[in-house]
Amino acid sequence: MNNNLVKVITVVSIIIPLAVAVLLFMPSKIELFGDWTYKLPHFNAIINSLTSLFLFLSFYMIKFKKNLKAHQNLNTASFILGAIFLVSYIIYHSSVESTSYQGDQRFIYFFFLISHILLSIVVVPFVLFAFYYSLSNQIEKHKKVVKYTFPIWLYVSVSGVIVYFMISPFYAQ
């Protein structure tokens, strides 16, 4: 494997969670984007729902239908949705104060929230390596890494939707 690519994947895998952490804990929010940012959690839930669906369909297409092209297209769509989600998430959390969960199911909410956050950090390098191996036609390495990538990425996308539904009644707008 190209050492430069490993370095890029490593740097990106470190920068993304650090940038998100900085935005979450900023003392003041940026008022650059306007009130439309309050709608982004709803948009992000749609993106996570579509990502979950596409990941599941991708697995189905390769495992049961042996349709490589559909598998590749669905994974590419999932990757693009993930990138859009990340941009949207960063805009939202840089602009809007975090919402506190005020429901009765605190243990369940925080279980999903914390596992979602931790695994979303873990999955980034797995996804990047899985795509690299696929695009460079290193199929055996791709298969090895997606054995872990697929369930983690699917869990992250599904748990993101669960967290959204649990906290959405408490959003300011």
**Could you give the number of structural domains in the chain?**
1
Q: Which residues contact 128 (CB under 8 A, 6 or more apart)?
A: 9, 12, 13
Task: Please tell me the predicted confidence (pLDDT) of residue 1.
Answer: 64
Q: What is the mean pLDDT of residues 119-124?
A: 95
The pTM for the full model equals 0.92
Task: Name the residue with higher pLDDT: 2 or 90.
Answer: 90
* Boundaries of domain holding 133: 3-28+36-170
pLDDT in tens, 56-66: 999 999 999 99
CA-CA distance, 10 to 123, in Å (whole number)?
12
Average pLDDT, the chain: 92
CA-CA distance, 10 to 26, in Å (whole number)?
24
Q: Which residues contact 154 (CB under 8 A, 6 or more apart)?
A: 52, 55, 56
CA 66 vs CA 62, 137, 151: distances in Å: 4, 17, 19
The least confident of 10-14, 17-21, 48-52, 110-114 is 17-21
Hey, what are 126's tokens? 């797995």
pLDDT in tens, 6-28: 899 999 999 999 988 887 777 77
User: Residue 134: which CATH number?
Assistant: 1.20.120
